[in-house]
Chains A and B, each alone.
Chain A
Amino acid sequence: MSATVPPALELEALSYAYTRGRPALEGVSFSVPSGAFTALLGPNGAGKTTLLSLVTRLFQAPDGRVLVCGHDLRRTPRRALGAMGVVFQQPTLDLDLTVTQNLRYSALLHGLSGPLARARIEEALARAGLEERGGTMVRALSGGMRRRLEIARALLHEPRLLVLDEPTVGLDVDSRREIVAEVHAFCREKGLAVLWTTHLIDEVWPEDRLVVLHDGRVRAAGSVREVMGKANAGSVGEAFGTLTRGKAA
């Protein structure tokens, strides 16, 4: 990596606790290199969603720093958030609006209008395979189509970092496999950095970077091979089991 290109995402000693609860995250630090697919793997309750809420500014971290493409989320949130596209675990499409209306709303939120917005919306429809369904109410789309639309919407403003929080939850096996493959391909072809949280080891590919999160702490981070080496394991599943103290994936 060139010294002049900052990581797409850099987390420094992030901590967070819900009111009166034990810490959900403690001193979490890792980075997502530009153009790499980074899987954040952790069992349910590991703190993945909380971490993404801090990364996306939904929650304010009392300690630590979030840098997006070198922009501090606290000091220059406009630049940091402008460089980021987000897909949440919970569906966030407006079911009572059409596919195109959902995209247009998101375009306006990011300051896109006129011919540029129209071109980006057409691209997004093509990317989601919904060219013929721009006027369809989102309510009428399948779960897989809605997810594709959310991913296409997150890319409307051409971010350099795409953050996805367990985006395959609730999808059938085929849709899940297709979406995992599509985002990997997009990352490879467009040089987009991806942070993908999951608790499913089969969504992690051998060439990915991997961060294992458990009980609010990073247990290992690096290439898949490095993480397996650290856990002295022969597979991602075995490494995951070892690093999360025997919890099943």
Chain B
Amino acid sequence: MKPWALCFAGILWRELLRFLQQRGRFLAALVRPLVWLFIFAAGFRSILGVSIQPPYQTYMLYEVYITPGLCGMILLFSGMQSSLSMVYDREMGSMRVLLVSPLPRWFLLLSKLVAGVLVAALQVYVFLAIAWFWEIEPPLPGYLTLLPALLVAGLMLGALGLLLSSFIRQLENFAGVMNFVIFPMFFASSALYPLWRVKEASPLLHAIAAANPFTHAVELIRFALYAQLDPGSLVAVLGWTALFTAVALWGYNPARGFVALSGKAGPPG
């Protein structure tokens, strides 16, 4: 068992080191949800009233409502970014070092996904620490129960990213992922508005949002942040995670990024 634990520790340690040393990446990951919280939510506070609904026990400010969605946003961006890099960009070099180490490929890829999720979870906690001063004050046990929700939701999104970038050639740059994956998933979800409000506006959009895996991730996070469990979301997220992870591990092919790196002109010498 020891080589497996050491290997995972190595992968996690490297992810943390890289994250801490790339301060620009850290700031970008933090600024994005904070802009939504400080500017978007403040602007829409008076327009979008949100009534009492579980897990909230009273009327809440709009900022309070969208905070779990912004936690999900951090996981979504992080998962897509790291998965894309595992297939195409400069990470390909270090992916090769990882993949020629002796442990099974499924374990190496899964470890890389989990390590990425743990780093993203760290970002979520930093975001929540700042949000505390903006009167986003969930109960203290919620910070603890949030962690498993972040892990499973993050793994689901990371595996989805790996799956998409392995199978869809058009997603080889981040702009493609933003337009075709991140924005549709984020906006057609319960991150910014409750599903019942979406239903009032468009039954079709409601159906899409209700089926959106990101909605389930956000709801899981929302309830977990208030130390509660939403069983429906948990089952859905676990199911999607198992499906995405299995297909992503099966479909991962380093030859893809390899050919991309060599300019798609044909096989390298």
B13 at the interface (CB under 8 A from A): yes
| B 169-199 binary contact with A (CB < 8 Å = 1; else 0) | 0000000000000000000000000000000
A residues within 8 A CB of B103? 78, 109
Known: A42-B269, A53-B255, A108-B10. A96 touches B21 (CB 8 A): yes
Within 8 A of A (CB), among B246-269: 254-255, 258-259, 261, 266-269
B45 within 8 A of A: no
Residues of B within 8 A of A82 (CB): 102
Q: Mark A69-105, 1 if CB is under 8 A from B, else 0.
A: 0000000011101101010111111101100010011
Complex contact A108–B258 (CB within 8 A)? no
**Distance in angstroms between the alpha carbons of A47 and B262 in the assembled complex:** 13
- Stretch of A55-63, A124-132, A180-188 with 4 or more beta carbons under 8 angstroms from chain B: A55-63
> A110 interface residue, CB < 8 Å from B?
yes
Asked if A86 contacts B100 (CB within 8 A), the reply is yes
B100 near A84: Cβ-Cβ < 8 Å:
yes
CA distance in complex: A106, B97 (Å) = 8
Known: A59-B254, A97-B17, A108-B10. A88 touches B267 (CB 8 A): no
Residue among A21, A59, A90, A109 making CB contact with B98, cutoff 8 Å: A109
The bracket for how many chain A residues form the interface is 35 or more
Q: Is B32 an interface residue (CB 8 A)?
A: no
CB neighbors of A among B55-102 (8 A): 92-94, 96-102
Q: Does B28 contact A (CB under 8 A)?
A: no
A31 to B133 alpha-carbon distance, docked (Å): 66
- Expressed in whole angstroms, the minimum distance between the Cβ of A93 and any Cβ of chain B is 8
| Residues on B with beta carbons closer than 8 Å to the beta carbon of A21 | 266-267
Are A108 and B266 CB-contacts (below 8 A) given A77-B102, A94-B18, A96-B22? no
**Once the chains are docked, how many angstroms separate the CA of A86 from the CA of B18?**
23
Shortest CB distance A104–B (Å) = 8
Residues of B close to A96: CB separation below 8 A: 17-18, 21-22
Please report the C-alpha to C-alpha distance between residue A86 and residue B101 in the assembled complex, in whole angstroms. Answer: 9
- Contact yes or no, B267 A47, CB < 8 A: yes
Chain B interface (Cβ within 8 Å of chain A)? 2-3, 6-7, 9-11, 13-14, 17-18, 21-22, 92-94, 96-105, 254-255, 258-259, 261, 266-269
> Besides the contacts A78-B104, A105-B14, A109-B98, what 15 more A-B pairs have beta carbons closer than 8 Å?
A18-B259, A18-B266, A21-B267, A45-B268, A53-B258, A56-B100, A58-B255, A59-B254, A81-B100, A81-B102, A86-B96, A91-B93, A97-B17, A105-B13, A111-B102
Closest 5 CB pairs of A and B: A108-B10, A111-B3, A109-B101, A92-B93, A44-B269
